[in-house]
Every structure is written in structure tokens, then in C-alpha cells.
């Protein structure tokens, strides 16, 4: 079973993009149900997989597919925009795995999903 990681850069107040910002991702186009496709890919042999984007990640979170969260938090407040996390139906319990601070004030935190 492959590991699925959701990682993004975000502002201190939890946004991955300010209003009107255009974001670009290395992507794979899925024409069907994304959760079904992620589930299929996780079952294959191979290395870990990464996903980005609040909408896709929310669907994967609700389905319990994300194994790890990686947040690179920038020391800036943007006030509004696209949130890192969307509303969830249930809590997701996490275990802190790593904290790393960089000279520019960015803090990387890594969490694993408690199963």
C-alpha cells in the first residue's frame, strides 16, 4: 500500500492562496471519481504519492485516504483566500512527526494520521 501525503505552503492564518491568486500544480487529470482513482493508485506497488489542492485533499480526507500532512507555514497573514483545510465531517487525529524551522521564518510541520 502506497503512502498518500497532502502537502502545501500556507500562510500563518491557514490559506494556500490569497484572493485572486492563480495556483499551478503538477497534476494528473482524472475524469472519473477522484476518491476511486486515489484508492486504486494507493493499492498499486510503488513509492509514496503526493496530492495538493484544497478540494481534492478534502475529498481524500473525508475518505480517510491521507496518511501524512506536510505544512510549510509562512510568517504572513493574508486574511482570506483558499483555505488549507475545508470543513470536514469528522475529526482527523494526527501525530506530530517533525518540526523544522528555517532562517526566513517558515516552519515545516509533518503529521501522520492516527489509524
Q: At 14, which CATH number?
A: 3.40.430.10
**So what's the pLDDT on residue 85?**
77
Domain of residue 69, residue span: 4-113
Mean pLDDT rounded to a whole number for the chain: 85
Q: What is the pLDDT of residue 73?
A: 93
Q: What is the pLDDT of residue 29?
A: 58
Q: Which residue has the higher pLDDT, 78 or 18?
A: 78
pLDDT of residue 109: 96
Q: How confident is the model at residue 52 (pLDDT cuts 50, 70, 90)?
A: confident
Over residues 10-15, the mean pLDDT reads: 87
How many structural domains does the chain have?
A: 1
> Percent of the chain having pLDDT more than 90?
36
Q: How far apart are CA 6 and CA 4, in angstroms?
A: 7
Asked whether the predicted pLDDT for residue 23 surpasses 60, the reply is no
Which stretches of the chain are assigned E, i.e. beta strand?
Answer: 4-11, 15-17, 49-51, 68-74, 82-83, 94-101, 107-113
Amino acid at each position: 500500500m502506497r503512502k498518500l501525503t497532502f502537502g502545501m505552503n500556507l500562510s500563518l492564518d491557514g490559506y494556500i492562496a490569497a484572493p485572486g491568486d492563480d495556483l499551478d500544480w503538477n497534476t494528473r487529470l482524472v475524469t472519473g471519481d477522484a476518491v476511486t482513482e486515489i484508492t486504486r493508485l494507493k493499492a498499486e506497488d510503488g513509492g509514496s504519492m503526493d496530492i495538493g489542492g484544497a478540494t481534492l485533499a478534502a475529498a481524500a480526507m473525508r475518505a480517510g485516504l491521507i496518511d501524512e500532512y506536510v505544512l510549510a507555514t509562512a510568517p504572513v497573514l493574508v486574511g482570506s483566500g483558499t483555505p488549507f483545510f475545508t470543513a470536514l465531517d469528522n475529526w482527523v487525529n494526527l501525530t506530530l512527526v517533525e518540526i523544522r524551522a528555517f532562517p526566513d521564518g517558515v516552519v515545516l510541520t509533518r503529521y501522520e494520521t492516527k489509524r
